[in-house]
């Protein structure tokens, strides 16, 4: 009897984990509306669930994850090279130190106005909500708030921005 109960509990636990993972991946699938993003800052709160007529490139990165840091730099370069493009960059960092984040923004010459720092419970909620437990990435979001690309290339950004 104890083995049966133990097996049932283990099965239910595995089932909950699988459903939670699948749900987070489903929420960021192509064609779905972007999950809402609420990010408190020192003097304001970034709230995002739909753009104001522009495409949005929502990028998640950390300085210790080389591919995501490189992508943050590439997207910053694309935005600088295409100033008229209707693409807004929102780049969210998950470093363990706000000081480290600030230094990397300066060192890499990232656009400070597009960089946001998430920590603690806020960071954990964003990671869970966007399914980032297996790595960081980026979403290209249409003006209607739908996800149209994962980790978009320069060519995709140019295609959707009309360049």
Residue ranges of domains in the chain, CATH in brackets: 2-161 (3.40.30.10)
Q: Is the pTM above the cut of 0.85?
A: no
Q: Has residue 7 got a pLDDT over 60? A: no
**Crossing angle of the two packed helices 66-81 and 154-161, in degrees rounded to 10:** 40
Mean pLDDT within 101-117: 94
The answer to whether residue 20 scores a pLDDT higher than 70 is no
The answer to whether the beta carbons of residues 152 and 138 sit under 8 Å apart is yes
Instruction: Give the mean pLDDT of 19-38.
Output: 69
- CB 134 within 8 Å of CB 121: no
Distance CA 56, CA 141 (A): 5
Q: Does residue 75 surpass a pLDDT of 50?
A: yes
Please report how the helices 2-27 and 120-129 are oriented relative to each other, as an axis angle in degrees rounded to 10.
90
Query: What is the Cα–Cα distance from 69 to 86, expressed in whole angstroms?
Result: 23
Provide the pLDDT for residue 1.
61
What do you get for the CA distance between the two ends of the chain, in Å? Answer: 67
Tell which wins on pLDDT, 59 or 3.
59
Residue 3: the pLDDT is: 62
Distance between CA atoms of residues 130 and 18, nearest Å: 16
């Amino acid at each position: 009897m104890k083995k049966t109960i133990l097996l049932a509990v283990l099965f239910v636990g595995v089932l909950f984990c699988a459903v939670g993972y699948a749900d987070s991946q489903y929420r960021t699938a192509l064609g779905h509306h972007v999950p809402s993003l609420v990010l408190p800052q020192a003097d304001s709160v970034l709230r995002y669930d739909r753009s104001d007529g522009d495409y949005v490139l929502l990028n998640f990165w950390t300085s210790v994850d080389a591919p995501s840091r490189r992508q943050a730099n590439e997207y910053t370069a694309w935005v600088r090279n295409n100033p008229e493009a209707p693409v807004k960059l929102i780049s969210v960092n998950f470093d363990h130190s706000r000081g480290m984040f600030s230094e990397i923004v300066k060192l890499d010459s990232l656009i400070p106005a597009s960089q946001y720092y998430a920590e603690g419970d806020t960071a954990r909620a964003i990671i869970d909500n966007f399914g980032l437990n297996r790595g960081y990435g980026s979403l290209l979001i249409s003006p209607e708030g739908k996800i149209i690309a994962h980790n978009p290339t320069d060519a995709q950004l140019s295609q959707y921005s009309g360049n």
